[in-house]
Amino acid sequence: MTNVLTATKPPAMQTPIERNYLDVSGVGKAFRGVRVMDAMNFRMAKGELVSLLGPSGCGKTTLLRIIAGLMAADEGAVVLGGRNITTLPAHKRNISVVFQNYALFPHLTVAENVAFGLRARGTAKGDTAKPVAEALALVRMTEFADRPIAALSGGQQQRVAVARALVVDPDLLLLDEPFSALDRKLRETMQVELKAMLRDRGITAIFVTHDQEEALGVSDRIAVMNAGRIEQFADPSTLYARPNSPFVMDFVGLSTRLHGTVTSHDAGMITVKTAIGDLHARANFPVGTAVLLGVRPELVAPDPDPQMNSVTVPLRDVMVLGSKTVLHGVANDADRVLCELPGIRSGFSHGQTATLGWSIEDTLVYEVAG
Amino acid sequence: MIARLDRISLLAVPALVFLAAIYALPLMMLLAKSFQGPEGTGISAYIEFFSDPYNLNVLWRTIRVALLTTLLALLIAYPTAFAMARANGIWLTVFLVALVLPMSLGVVVKAFAWSILFRANGALNEFMQWIGLTSGPIRMMFTETALVVGAANVFLPFMVLPIYAVVRQLNASLPDAAASLGATPLFRFTHVTLPLTLPGVVAGAAFVFSLSISMYVIPSLIVGERQQTMSMLIARSFLYLRDETLGSTISAILLAIAVAVVLFSSWLAGRLGARQ
C-alpha cells in the first residue's frame, strides 16, 4: 500500500467543482429554541476522506444528518458537486449513510439488504444479482448472502452496511461512528480495510467520530468540532503538531499542560512563569497575559540540553506499555508534565523526581482567561 | 438446568387446573352434546344446521361483521399506534387512558350513548340535515354498519396495543437508512415499516376477529333480534328453544372458526417473526 495519508489527488488537477465538491455554507440549526449550530461552513474536495471529530453534543451528528437530508437546516445551503441539494429530500440526494448501529433491515437477508438501494431505485429484481454479488465480494461476505441479519457478528454487520451503502454508487458516503460497536482489534483491522477500499474506488466520504485515533488513522483531513463550531480543519499531522486551541490540543492526543503568566517578551520569544519555573515559547503575547503551555509527550525527554525548556517534577506514575514508557510528572493540581519514551525504559520509578525537557520550538502556547 | 426449569414450570399448574376445570371440561361436555341427536350419536345436527339457508345466512353475516370490524379497527389503530410510539410522558399517559378507560365503562352504557348519536332524531341525523347532506333522517341504529362501527369502537384497544408494542420496538434509524438508500416514503412503508409491524397487525387482528365473531351483548343492543349472529343463535337455542343439540352444534362451529383463526395467526406471526 502507498502512503495513504498523503496520497490524495493534487488540487491543481481538480476542477473548481471538484475542489469544493461538498460545500456547506452558513448552516444553522436550533432544537426547541436552543441553537446547536450557527453559520457552519464546511468544504471538502472530491475523493477526500474527512473526519468530523468531537465530543458528544458537539454537533457532528447534526451536521451529518443535515448533509444526508435526514434533518432540515434552519438556514444555510448544502451544495454537492455543483448541485444545490439544500431542500432535496434524503432519497433524492444519492448520499449513502452507514449508521452507528448499522440499521440493517432485520426482515431481509444479507443479499436483500444489499439489494435494497437498487430495488428502491427501480432496478428489477433479476438485475440486482450481479452488483450485489460484486458488493458482497468487495467486503468478503459472499458466503453470507442468504443469511439472516441476526446471524451476523458486529464486524460482519458492518461489512454488510458498507456493501449496502456502496452498491448504489453514491456521490458521497457518510459514516456515523462506524467502528464504535467493534472491539479494539477488529476496529483497527476494519479501519485499514475500509480506508483502502474507499481510496481504491475514489469514494468521497465523511466519518463522524469521537475517537481521535480513528480520525487520525482514516482521514486526509479532520474537522475538530466543539459546541456547534469547527475549531480547526487540517490534515492529521498539522492538527497534532500545531493545534490552534487548547481544546484541539486536549482532544487530539495527550500533552503536557502548564498554566502561567508572561513575564517578559522579546523578539517573538516570551518567558512564562509557571508553578515549576520559568519556561520559554515562540509567541507574541504582552507581559501579564495568562497562558497555557503545552507540548506533545514524545517530544519530552530526560536530561535536556541547557538551551531547552527544562522542569524538575515528582513522578506520580511510570507506565511501561511495551512499545513505550510513559512518565507522568505532577506540577500542581491542574498541571502535569507527560513524557513518552520509546521502548521499555528502566531507571524511573513512582515518587522519584525527574528532570525533563523539550525544545522551545515545540512548545505550544495559548492565551487563556486569567 | 432441567430440574430448575421444571420447578419454575410448576408455577403454571394453578392456571392449568383452573382452565381445565372451569373452561375445558364444560366445553368438552357441551361439544359432546352436539353429536347426540334424538336419533342417537352422529353428525346429523351439523347436516341439519348447514342445510338451512337461514343458518348459512347468519354464519356468513357473523363472519362478514367480524371481518369488517377487524378491518375498521385496523385502519384506525395502525396510525394511532405510531402516534403513541412517538408520544412520551404526559401524552403517552393520555393516549393509554383514552384507550383503556372506555373498556371499564361497559358495553351497555356505550350502546345507549350511541343511540343518542345515531337514532332517527339523533345528533348525527340532525347535523347531516342541517348541512344539507341528507333531506330526511336516515336509519343508522339497527343496521349492520352501526354494529361494525360499535364493535370496532369497543375492540379498538385490542388492535392498538399489540401494534403499539411492535412499533415501539422498531429501530428508528431503519426508515432513515431506507431513505438514504433512495427509498421514497411509499417504498419505505411497503418494504420496511409494514413488514416489520405485520406481526403486531396479525396479533391485533386475531384478537379483534375472535372477539367480534363471538360477541353477543353488542349485537343484541345495537341490531337486536332483526339481524341474528351466531352467538345470538346459540343463546336463543339454549334459552328459548331449549334445544341443547342445536346450541352446542353452533357453539362447536363458532369454536372451530376461532381456533382456526388463532392457529393461522400464530403460524403467520411465527413465519413473519422467524427471520428477525
Predicted ipTM beyond 0.95: no
Is there a single domain that holds both residue A154 and residue A188?
yes
A98 to chain B, closest Cα gap in Å: 8
Is there a single domain that holds both residue A225 and residue A350?
no
All three cell numbers of A75: 438556514
**Which of A70, A105, A125, A146 to substitute to test the interface with B, most B CBs within 10 Å?**
A105
Given the C-alpha cell 460497536, which residue does it identify?
A: A181
Q: How far apart (Å, rounded) are the C-alpha atoms in residues B276 and A113?
A: 13
Q: Which domain holds residue A23?
A: 11-249
Quote the pLDDT of residue B96: 85
A29: left (phi over 0), alpha (psi -120 to 50) or beta: beta
Is there a single domain that holds both residue A244 and residue A261?
no
Buried b (16+ CB within 10 A) or exposed e, B259-270: eebeeebeebbe
Whether residues B180 and A95 touch (CB distance < 8 A) is answered with: yes
Is there a single domain that holds both residue A244 and residue A310?
no
Residues of chain B in contact with residue A97, where contact means CB-CB under 8 angstroms, are 176-177, 180
All three cell numbers of B175: 426508515
- B105 vs A208: which has the higher pLDDT: A208
Is there a single domain that holds both residue A264 and residue A226?
no
DSSP A95-120: EEEE-TT----TTSBHHHHHHHHHHH
Whether A261 has a pLDDT exceeding 60, the answer reads yes
Residues B30-44 have a mean pLDDT of 79
Candidates A80, A74, A98, A68; CA nearest to A24 is: A80
**What are A201-239's pLDDT values in tens digits?**
999 999 999 998 889 989 999 999 998 899 999 999 999
Q: How far apart (Å, rounded) are the C-alpha atoms in residues A46 and A11?
A: 10
Q: Identify the CATH assignment for B52-270 out of 1.10.287.3610, 3.40.50.300, 1.10.3720.10, 1.10.240.10.
A: 1.10.3720.10
Residue A132 in domain: yes
Q: Which H or E element spans position A356?
A: strand A353-358
- In order of A30, A280, A306, A307, B177, the CA distances from A355 in angstroms are 50, 16, 12, 14, 55
The vertex-A248 CA angle with A242 and A250, nearest 5°, equals 105
Quote the pLDDT of residue B4: 59
Half-sphere exposure in the Cβ direction for B85 (13 Å, CA): 20
Q: Does A160 touch chain B (CB under 8 A)?
A: no
Candidates A38, A45, A34; CA nearest to A8 is: A45
How many residue pairs from chains A and B have C-beta atoms closer than 8 A?
A: 80
**What are A64-73's pLDDT values in tens digits?**
999 999 999 9
In the listed set A218, A249, A280, which residue is the last one of a domain according to the structure? Answer: A249
Residues A27-38 have a mean pLDDT of 91
- In order of A50, A128, A171, B86, B113, the CA distances from A46 in angstroms are 11, 27, 9, 39, 68
Q: Does B121 touch chain A (CB under 8 A)?
A: no
**What are B203-245's pLDDT values in tens digits?**
999 999 999 998 988 888 888 777 888 999 898 888 888 888 8
Q: How far apart (Å, rounded) are the C-alpha atoms in residues B9 and A349?
A: 61
Q: How far apart are the first and last CA of chain B?
A: 27
Whether A190 has a pLDDT exceeding 50, the answer reads yes
Candidates A367, A124, A137, A123; CA nearest to A261 is: A367
Whether residues B180 and A91 touch (CB distance < 8 A) is answered with: yes
Which residues lie across from A27 on neighbouring strands?
Answer: A40
Decide if A315 contacts A351 (C-beta within 8 A).
yes
User: Would you place residue A1 in the very low, low, confident or very high pLDDT band (cuts 50, 70, 90)?
Assistant: very low
Quick count: other Cβ atoms within 10 Å of Cβ B100?
Answer: 12
Is there a single domain that holds both residue A243 and residue A266?
no
Q: Does B191 touch chain A (CB under 8 A)?
A: yes
Is there a single domain that holds both residue A27 and residue A174?
yes
Decide if A158 contacts A178 (C-beta within 8 A).
yes
In the listed set A190, A219, A249, which residue is the last one of a domain according to the structure? Answer: A249
Residues B266-271 have a mean pLDDT of 81
Whether A3 has a pLDDT exceeding 50, the answer reads no
Specify the number of domains making up chain A: 2
Q: How far apart (Å, rounded) are the C-alpha atoms in residues A190 and A210?
A: 17
Whether residues A94 and B182 touch (CB distance < 8 A) is answered with: yes
Sign of CA dihedral B117, B121, B125, B128: negative
Is there a single domain that holds both residue A242 and residue A356?
no
Is there a single domain that holds both residue A135 and residue A258?
no
DSSP A262-296: EEEEETTEEEEEETTEEEEEE----TT-EEEEEE-
Quote the pLDDT of residue B109: 85
Quote the pLDDT of residue A12: 56
Across A89-93, A137-141, A259-263, least confident range: A137-141
Decide if A222 contacts A51 (C-beta within 8 A).
yes
The vertex-A94 CA angle with A111 and A145, nearest 5°, equals 5
Is there a single domain that holds both residue A73 and residue A145?
yes
SS3 call for B108: helix
Is there a single domain that holds both residue A58 and residue A183?
yes
Residues of chain B in contact with residue A117, where contact means CB-CB under 8 angstroms, are 181-183
Whether A118 has a pLDDT exceeding 70, the answer reads yes
Q: Does B182 touch chain A (CB under 8 A)?
A: yes
Burial of B13 (0-12, 13-18, 19+ CB in 10 A): exposed
Quote the pLDDT of residue B5: 63
Q: Identify the closest residue of chain B to A163 by CA–CA distance.
A: B181
Q: Write the CATH number for A269.
A: 2.40.50.140
Is there a single domain that holds both residue A222 and residue A316?
no
**What are B176-203's pLDDT values in tens digits?**
999 999 999 999 999 999 999 999 999 9
Max intra-chain CA distance, chain A: 77
B141: left (phi over 0), alpha (psi -120 to 50) or beta: beta
Whether B3 has a pLDDT exceeding 70, the answer reads no
**What are A274-297's pLDDT values in tens digits?**
999 999 999 999 999 999 999 999
Q: How far apart (Å, rounded) are the C-alpha atoms in residues A277 and A92?
A: 61
In the listed set A249, A282, A306, which residue is the last one of a domain according to the structure? Answer: A249
Q: Write the CATH number for A34.
A: 3.40.50.300
Quote the pLDDT of residue B161: 93
